[in-house]
Structure 1
Amino acid sequence: MWVEDWTPRAACKSATPDQLFVRGAEQNKAKQLCSGCPVRTECLAEALDNQIEWGVWGGMTERERRALLRRRPTSSWRSVLETAREQQVVSPVSQTAS
């Protein structure tokens, strides 16, 4: 299920911008904050659809997001990620049976 108003549920809601808008190795710490976030997918879609250039969003750095945007520049990332999430929820058994 897609969460429209995702920001109040974000794992980083109490983090300071200094924790999320970092460079280099510090980005790995910021990405760890995202790892268990219940709205990680919504956050990433927001950053990709709005081409947000700075900070860690949805567990991805600026460089990682730019790579995705180059591959699919006209995609609706919300649709892409929502569909991927639904497919993962529907068939987790078939993935492990292979």
Structure 2
Amino acid sequence: MWVEDWAPRAACRAEQPDKLFVRGAEQNKAKTLCQGCPVRTECLAEALDNQIEWGVWGGMTERERRALLRRRPTASWRSVLETARNQTRETVKV
């Protein structure tokens, strides 16, 4: 199920925001905050659909997100990610 008000559930909610807006190797440390986050998909969709240029969102750096946006510039990322998550859950049930 998609979580509309995802920010209060984010694993990073108690962290200093500056930890997610870093450069270089520090981005890999920031991405670890996203591992196991219950709303990682919603966070990533927000960043992609709104073309947020800075910071780590949903476990992806701005460079990684730009690469996705180049591949599918007109996609509704919420739809893409929600569908992929649902398909993964269905596969796991089988």
Name the TM-score, length of structure 1 as normaliser.
0.93
Q: Distance in 2 between matches of 1:61 and 1:91?
A: 28
1:47 paired with 2:38, answer: no
Aligned to 2:70: 70
Number of residues paired by the alignment? 94
CA RMSD for the aligned pairs?
A: 0.9
Aligned AA for 2:78?
Answer: R
Aligned to 2:20: 20
Q: Distance in 2 between matches of 1:38 and 1:17?
A: 18
Identity of aligned residues (%): 82
Deviation >6 Å, runs of 4+: none
Aligned AA for 2:52?
Answer: I
1:5 paired with 2:12, answer: no
Aligned AA for 2:10?
Answer: A
Aligned to 1:82: 82
Aligned to 1:32: 32
Aligned AA for 2:79?
Answer: S
Q: After superposition, what is the alpha-carbon deviation per residue over 1:13-33, rounded to whole angstroms, capped at 9, x for unaligned?
A: 011121000000000011000
Aligned to 2:58: 58
Q: CA deviation at 1:92?
A: 2.1
Q: After superposition, what is the alpha-carbon deviation per residue over 1:24-79, rounded to whole angstroms, capped at 9, x for unaligned?
A: 00000110000110000000000000000000000000000000000000000000
Structure number with bigger Rg: 1
Q: CA deviation at 1:93?
A: 6.0
